[in-house]
Amino acid sequence: MNIRVLYSLFITAFILIISSCQNPVKNMPTVMPSADKSTMENNASVNEQDKTVKIYDKKTLLNWKERYSQSNSRIFRQLIKPVLTPNERNQLTNVQFDVPELGKFNEPMAFYRPDGKSKVVMSAQSLKFLDDLCTAYAWLHINGYSPETLIDYIAMLRYKNLDEFPTPLDALQIPKDALEDTKVDNLALKIFTSARTFILAHELGHILHNHIGHAPKEKIGEKEKKRIRKQEIEADQFALDILDRIRTLELGITPIGTLFFFQINSHLNWDNHNSTHPLSSERLQAVANKEKDTMISSWLKELAELLADKESQQSIQLAAQYRDFDTLAPRQRGELPFAPDRRENISQPFQGSYSGNYTRFVFNESEVLSVEVNFQRNGSKVTGRFNFGLGDGIISGDIEDKILYFDWRWYNKEGMGELKPFGDNQLKGTWGYRSSYDDGGEWELRRK
Ligand SMILES: [Zn+2]
């Protein structure tokens, strides 16, 4: 499957996830699935600390620490405990829930069980991060904006490799009073609770299965990796089973949280090798096979496919590394990262929004893709952004004798091109790589 198709499937998955969250589901707090990441890390040895990315200040974390501690216990007591078998309940009699400000590894998805202990750690920063992502999703969705910016944000967090990172709500420009809209508040809470229940149950699964920790990163061989993957799958199966039992009680827990968790995790934990806790495609397949909700199951399968596709992973990585934070402003579905310039002279060529096709020469064949372009013209100077479904590229150039000669850049690729006006509303031309104007293909645009 080509990258673009996969990527748009991914976006669609998010839209569907969120829409399906709004199906009437009895009155119950949402259950949230926890990050796999944490699960994989949960047995990591102490000397294998990751660099901790800082998203929230200490004061914020101290504020939330207590609240999350209480809600963790509540989720365990009210949702999970009632569906445990007597035997499971026995084994978990002394289980403890710890909410440190920061986790020892895997921030901001630090959910784990310290090796050999009957304890589940969920850091305040990680819970706040998940909480805010749920708020952001809910607000974007209810207000008709694309969830694409949120996916971009998560990928940037993973690939920009910064020590400090803006919070989801700041970076995505979500209004401070977002939760005052009860629709947003309800949806956000539903996803958050559902994802947390999944995560908590996953860690409890590790405890019940007496899973053991793994060696430091550098010592992990194939056999060890296999064992870790098996443990993750067992813990997932237990978590899904718990969600299933809760559902039979008709408490209104949705399976959405599981998917939400894996979506976030798949972008944050993307490394396919040399990672002690890869979110393997195999693991996702196992979750998909066990999941009884057919729609969720099929999206999990799509995600597993995306995860196994190296080309897609590279594209997402490149896009994340080159993207600026100002492209994360809320936008309508299908809209480009920047609104068109509507100031003046919108009728002159190379000003405003165009859409059309571009042809890409690949060996002896050509592939046609649709593209959208926003131009901003100032005299004979023109800048613009184009998008063909895989992040945005930039062009800048000059008009000479009515023809626009420009340079373009898309992630790490660049080149040149030219465009000529035809009639009132059309532009046609060619583009090429590096110093060529025409070895890449052709393009044709019409004013929107
Ligand atoms: Zn795990």
Distance 122 CA to ligand 1 centre (A): 13
What pLDDT digit, counting tens, does each position of 182-193 carry?
999 998 998 898
Check pLDDT > 50 for residue 208: yes
Amino acid at 223: K
Residue ranges and CATH numbers for the domains of the chain are 3-328 (no CATH), 352-447 (2.40.160.90)
What pLDDT digit, counting tens, does each position of 118-137 carry?
999 999 999 999 999 999 99
Check pLDDT > 70 for residue 332: yes
For 209-347, where are the alpha helices, taking DSSP H only?
Answer: 222-248, 256-268, 281-290, 294-308, 310-322
Distance 37 CA to ligand 1 centre (A): 7
Distance 74 CA to ligand 1 centre (A): 21
pLDDT for res 377: 84
**In the structure, what pLDDT confidence band is assigned to residue 98 with cuts at 50, 70 and 90?**
very high
Distance 389 CA to ligand 1 centre (A): 34
Tokens 């000669």 found at: 405
Task: Find which of 141-145, 156-160, 165-169, 240-244 is predicted with most confidence, using mean pLDDT.
Answer: 165-169
26, 282, 288, 301, 368 from 305: Cα distances, Å: 33, 10, 11, 6, 24
Amino acid at 212: I
Q: Return mean pLDDT, the chain.
A: 79
Neighbours of 435 (CB within 10 A): 9
Longest dimension (CA), the chain: 83
Distance 38 CA to ligand 1 centre (A): 6
What pLDDT digit, counting tens, does each position of 408-424 carry?
987 667 899 999 999 87
Distance 431 CA to ligand 1 centre (A): 48
Residues 195, 34: contact at Cβ < 8 Å?
yes
What pLDDT digit, counting tens, does each position of 368-390 carry?
878 888 888 888 888 888 887 66
Kindly report whether the peptide bond that precedes residue 114 is cis, defined as omega within 30 degrees of 0.
no
Q: Of 440, 127, 115, give the one whose Cα is nearest residue 135.
A: 127
Check pLDDT > 90 for residue 174: yes
* Mean pLDDT lowest among 172-186, 241-255, 299-313, 330-344: 330-344
Q: 145: helix, coil or strand?
A: strand
Check pLDDT > 80 for residue 362: no
Distance 250 CA to ligand 1 centre (A): 27
pLDDT for res 251: 55
Distance 146 CA to ligand 1 centre (A): 31
The beta strand positions in 25-157, using DSSP E, are 96-98, 111-112, 119-122
Percentage of the chain with pLDDT > 90? Answer: 33
